[in-house]
Amino acid sequence: MAIEINDEYFEKLAQAVIDGEEEECVELVNAGLEAGVDPLEAVEKGLGRGIGKVGEDFGAGIIFLPELAMAADVMKQGTAILDERIKASGADRLSHGKVVIGTIKGDIHDIGKSVVAAVLQANGYDVIDIGIDIDVDTFLDAVKEHDADALGMSTLLTLPLMEMEKVIQRMQETGMRDNVKVIVGGCPVTQEFADEIGADAVGFDAQDAVLKLDGLLGINRPCGDA
Ligand code: B1M
């Protein structure tokens, strides 16, 4: 499939997610990479726009869980390929620090968290992605085991939001909080909420997560290197 990277290409990617067309999506992603698409742009302008529309329709009761799940599977296939390319783009960089990242207990959304993990890795962080539905003890054990400089928590759901506070509280009780920065993110997470629960920062998207962590860990990059 020979293609040009333009608005039409990103629209086709979005539409493949909306239509639940896995084969089409994978072909478009691979053809895009061959034609030199920026993988993060393909996630944000293409696949992300498609899943955003699907999410809106689901919220409005226009489509139901099976259609949402089908679109999510297509999105996952596409982002898995792009995430690998994003990670590989930072393979030869020096390590800026270790980050444990996961989606909180009660939440199984993993696409956005995985994109953030890939972009952090591409920007020189050693990322330990511990997955989804992660409880307090598992977060703390992973931070200890890997001697992490930062902990990242993600959620897309409103209901389990307070799990993030529980993790931070336990870090305080066990004396871990002073040495480990905490960044939170996901669509229901606001700056006010992050302040309220005592997180160090909120990341509004993957690139923002890099900028916020750089700030917290004192990383100075040469111009154009972030
Ligand atoms: Co769900 N879901 N879902 N879902 N789903 C939402 C979140 C929802 C808003 C849809 C809607 O109603 N409009 C709604 C939440 C409502 C709420 O709580 N306020 C919802 C619901 C209700 C549910 C279920 C409860 C549905 C049900 O069962 N009845 C259920 C939850 C099950 C559970 O977790 N216990 C559910 C299930 C699912 C699927 C499994 C079908 C699937 C997920 C598949 C997967 O992840 N493997 C799914 C999907 C795909 C979505 C939507 C449509 C898209 C999410 C996504 O992947 N976005 C979503 C609606 C939406 O967001 N528009 C929706 C693309 C991704 C690249 O973006 O994840 O936002 P995002 O990540 C961004 C930023 O948020 C940020 O950077 C990322 C990259 O730019 N970010 C961070 C994220 N984490 C970060 C961490 C950081 C920093 C930045 O630092 C650590």
Given a cut of 90, is residue 222 above it in pLDDT? no
Mutation pick for ligand 1 pocket among 18, 45, 51, 109 (CB with most ligand atoms within 8 Å): 109
Residue ranges of the chain assigned to CATH 1.10.1240.10: 7-89
Residue nearest to atom 76 of ligand 1 (CA): 205
Residue that the structure tokens 């799940």 belong to? 69
Per the prediction, the chain carries an average pLDDT of: 94
Q: Is the pLDDT higher at 94 or at 43?
A: 43
d(CA 214, CA 226): 9
| 187 ligand 1 Cβ < 6 A | yes
CATH of 7-89, one of 1.10.1240.10, 3.40.190.10, 1.10.10.10, 3.40.50.300: 1.10.1240.10
| 62 ligand 1 Cβ < 6 A | no
CA 157 / ligand 1 centre spacing (Å) = 7
Confidence of residue 27 (pLDDT cuts 50, 70, 90): very high
d(CA 14, CA 100): 30
Residue 92, pLDDT score: 66
Domain covering 98-217, topology: Rossmann fold (3.40.50)
Given a cut of 70, is residue 102 above it in pLDDT? yes
| 54 ligand 1 Cβ < 6 A | yes
Residue nearest to atom 29 of ligand 1 (CA): 65
> From edge to edge, which strands make up the β-sheet containing 97-103?
125-129, 97-103, 150-154, 181-185, 201-203
Question: pTM to 2 decimals?
Answer: 0.94
Residue ranges of the chain assigned to CATH 3.40.50.280: 98-217
| 199 ligand 1 Cβ < 6 A | no
Given a cut of 80, is residue 94 above it in pLDDT? no
Given a cut of 60, is residue 226 above it in pLDDT? no
Lowest mean pLDDT, pick from 96-100, 106-110, 209-213, 221-225? 221-225
Residue 80, pLDDT score: 94
Residue 223, pLDDT score: 63
CA 183 / ligand 1 centre spacing (Å) = 18
Confidence of residue 220 (pLDDT cuts 50, 70, 90): confident
Long-range contacts of 41-44 (CB under 8 A, 24+ apart): 41/10, 42/10, 42/13, 42/78, 42/82, 43/78, 43/79, 43/82, 43/115, 44/205
Q: Are residues 60 and 31 in contact, defined by beta-carbon separation less than 8 angstroms?
A: no
